Amino acid sequence: MPESWRSRLARWGFNFFPTYRSTGAWITYIADDFREIRIRLPLGWRTRNNVGTMFGGSMYAAGDGVFMVMLIKALGPDYIVWDKSATVRFRKPARTTLYASFVLTSDDLEGIRAATAGGEAIERVHRIALVDRQSVVHAEIEWTIYIRRRDATPAARLDRTTNLITPQG
Protein backbone atom coordinates (compact mmCIF):
# COMPACT_ATOMS: atom_id res chain seq x y z
CA MET A 1 0.00 0.00 0.00
CA PRO A 2 1.43 3.41 -0.90
CA GLU A 3 2.02 6.17 1.59
CA SER A 4 -0.64 8.87 1.75
CA TRP A 5 0.05 12.51 2.55
CA ARG A 6 -1.24 11.81 6.07
CA SER A 7 1.10 8.87 6.64
CA ARG A 8 4.00 10.72 5.00
CA LEU A 9 3.49 13.64 7.41
CA ALA A 10 3.38 11.15 10.31
CA ARG A 11 6.68 9.66 9.09
CA TRP A 12 8.29 13.10 8.95
CA GLY A 13 6.92 13.84 12.41
CA PHE A 14 8.43 10.64 13.81
CA ASN A 15 11.79 11.22 12.16
CA PHE A 16 12.15 14.77 13.42
CA PHE A 17 10.69 14.22 16.90
CA PRO A 18 13.76 14.69 19.14
CA THR A 19 13.31 11.49 21.15
CA TYR A 20 13.05 9.26 18.07
CA ARG A 21 15.69 11.22 16.16
CA SER A 22 18.18 10.58 18.97
CA THR A 23 17.96 6.82 18.36
CA GLY A 24 19.76 7.23 15.04
CA ALA A 25 16.97 5.31 13.24
CA TRP A 26 14.81 6.51 10.38
CA ILE A 27 11.28 5.48 9.57
CA THR A 28 11.32 4.93 5.82
CA TYR A 29 7.68 3.98 5.19
CA ILE A 30 4.29 4.15 6.89
CA ALA A 31 1.32 2.56 5.12
CA ASP A 32 -1.76 4.76 4.77
CA ASP A 33 -3.65 2.53 7.24
CA PHE A 34 -0.67 2.35 9.65
CA ARG A 35 -0.58 -1.46 9.37
CA GLU A 36 3.01 -1.48 8.14
CA ILE A 37 5.99 0.62 9.19
CA ARG A 38 9.56 0.10 7.97
CA ILE A 39 12.69 1.41 9.65
CA ARG A 40 16.36 1.77 8.77
CA LEU A 41 19.06 1.90 11.45
CA PRO A 42 22.43 2.94 10.02
CA LEU A 43 25.71 2.23 11.78
CA GLY A 44 27.08 5.68 12.55
CA TRP A 45 28.47 7.89 15.29
CA ARG A 46 25.15 7.82 17.22
CA THR A 47 24.66 4.05 16.99
CA ARG A 48 28.22 2.70 17.22
CA ASN A 49 29.55 1.29 20.51
CA ASN A 50 33.17 1.29 21.71
CA VAL A 51 34.05 -1.91 19.79
CA GLY A 52 32.74 -0.60 16.45
CA THR A 53 29.47 -2.53 16.25
CA MET A 54 25.85 -1.42 16.62
CA PHE A 55 24.94 -0.40 20.17
CA GLY A 56 22.22 -2.73 21.50
CA GLY A 57 20.30 0.17 22.99
CA SER A 58 20.01 1.73 19.54
CA MET A 59 18.59 -1.51 18.18
CA TYR A 60 15.92 -1.57 20.87
CA ALA A 61 15.17 2.17 20.76
CA ALA A 62 14.70 2.15 16.98
CA GLY A 63 11.51 0.15 17.38
CA ASP A 64 10.35 1.26 20.81
CA GLY A 65 6.73 2.38 20.65
CA VAL A 66 6.20 1.53 16.98
CA PHE A 67 3.74 -1.33 17.55
CA MET A 68 1.98 0.73 20.21
CA VAL A 69 1.44 3.65 17.80
CA MET A 70 0.34 1.27 15.03
CA LEU A 71 -2.27 -0.30 17.30
CA ILE A 72 -3.49 3.09 18.56
CA LYS A 73 -4.00 4.23 14.95
CA ALA A 74 -5.53 0.94 13.76
CA LEU A 75 -7.88 0.37 16.72
CA GLY A 76 -8.94 3.97 17.19
CA PRO A 77 -9.87 6.03 20.25
CA ASP A 78 -12.03 3.31 21.84
CA TYR A 79 -8.93 1.40 22.96
CA ILE A 80 -6.19 1.93 25.52
CA VAL A 81 -2.84 0.64 24.26
CA TRP A 82 0.47 0.58 26.18
CA ASP A 83 3.87 -1.01 25.77
CA LYS A 84 4.21 -3.29 28.78
CA SER A 85 7.57 -5.01 28.32
CA ALA A 86 10.17 -5.93 25.74
CA THR A 87 12.79 -8.60 25.26
CA VAL A 88 15.82 -8.23 23.01
CA ARG A 89 17.80 -11.22 21.81
CA PHE A 90 21.06 -10.27 20.13
CA ARG A 91 22.06 -12.79 17.47
CA LYS A 92 25.09 -11.31 15.72
CA PRO A 93 27.10 -8.08 16.05
CA ALA A 94 25.98 -5.55 13.45
CA ARG A 95 28.62 -3.74 11.42
CA THR A 96 26.26 -2.32 8.82
CA THR A 97 22.82 -0.74 8.40
CA LEU A 98 19.91 -2.76 9.78
CA TYR A 99 16.28 -2.87 8.63
CA ALA A 100 12.99 -3.95 10.17
CA SER A 101 9.38 -4.16 9.08
CA PHE A 102 6.51 -3.92 11.58
CA VAL A 103 3.27 -5.45 10.28
CA LEU A 104 -0.26 -5.77 11.67
CA THR A 105 -2.60 -8.10 9.82
CA SER A 106 -6.39 -7.97 9.63
CA ASP A 107 -6.39 -11.21 11.64
CA ASP A 108 -4.34 -9.51 14.39
CA LEU A 109 -6.84 -6.67 14.65
CA GLU A 110 -9.91 -8.91 14.48
CA GLY A 111 -8.45 -11.14 17.20
CA ILE A 112 -7.80 -8.14 19.44
CA ARG A 113 -11.31 -6.77 18.94
CA ALA A 114 -12.85 -10.18 19.65
CA ALA A 115 -10.70 -10.80 22.74
CA THR A 116 -11.52 -7.39 24.25
CA ALA A 117 -15.22 -7.31 23.30
CA GLY A 118 -16.30 -8.54 26.75
CA GLY A 119 -14.28 -5.89 28.56
CA GLU A 120 -11.20 -7.98 29.30
CA ALA A 121 -7.73 -6.49 29.05
CA ILE A 122 -5.33 -8.54 26.98
CA GLU A 123 -1.63 -8.67 26.26
CA ARG A 124 -0.28 -9.41 22.79
CA VAL A 125 3.29 -10.18 21.82
CA HIS A 126 4.61 -8.68 18.58
CA ARG A 127 8.00 -9.61 17.14
CA ILE A 128 10.42 -8.11 14.68
CA ALA A 129 13.86 -9.02 13.42
CA LEU A 130 16.56 -6.46 12.69
CA VAL A 131 18.28 -7.69 9.54
CA ASP A 132 21.00 -6.50 7.18
CA ARG A 133 20.72 -6.29 3.37
CA GLN A 134 21.43 -10.02 3.07
CA SER A 135 18.55 -10.78 5.53
CA VAL A 136 20.96 -11.95 8.24
CA VAL A 137 19.24 -11.53 11.61
CA HIS A 138 21.27 -9.43 14.06
CA ALA A 139 18.61 -8.99 16.76
CA GLU A 140 15.09 -10.16 17.53
CA ILE A 141 12.82 -8.02 19.65
CA GLU A 142 9.50 -8.93 21.25
CA TRP A 143 7.12 -6.30 22.58
CA THR A 144 4.32 -7.19 24.96
CA ILE A 145 1.46 -4.76 24.43
CA TYR A 146 -1.42 -4.19 26.87
CA ILE A 147 -4.78 -3.56 25.15
CA ARG A 148 -8.21 -2.84 26.60
CA ARG A 149 -11.40 -1.22 25.39
CA ARG A 150 -11.63 2.25 26.87
CA ASP A 151 -15.24 1.78 28.05
CA ALA A 152 -14.60 -1.68 29.47
CA THR A 153 -14.08 -0.90 33.13
CA PRO A 154 -17.20 -2.38 34.76
CA ALA A 155 -16.91 -0.67 38.14
CA ALA A 156 -15.50 2.71 37.18
CA ARG A 157 -14.93 5.14 34.36
CA LEU A 158 -12.62 8.09 33.94
CA ASP A 159 -14.53 11.33 34.24
CA ARG A 160 -12.81 13.33 31.51
CA THR A 161 -13.84 16.69 32.94
CA THR A 162 -12.25 16.15 36.37
CA ASN A 163 -9.76 13.35 35.58
CA LEU A 164 -11.12 11.42 38.54
CA ILE A 165 -12.28 7.83 38.54
CA THR A 166 -15.97 7.77 39.41
CA PRO A 167 -18.49 4.91 39.76
CA GLN A 168 -20.56 4.17 36.70
CA GLY A 169 -24.21 4.94 37.02
Q: Give the closest residue to 109 by CA, choosing from 75, 142, 133, 86.
A: 75
pTM above 0.95, yes or no: no
Distance CA 80, CA 4 (A): 25
Domains in the chain, number: 1
Domain that holds residue 149: 5-167
Per-residue pLDDT reduced to its tens digit, 57-100 = 999 999 999 999 999 999 999 999 999 999 999 999 999 999 99
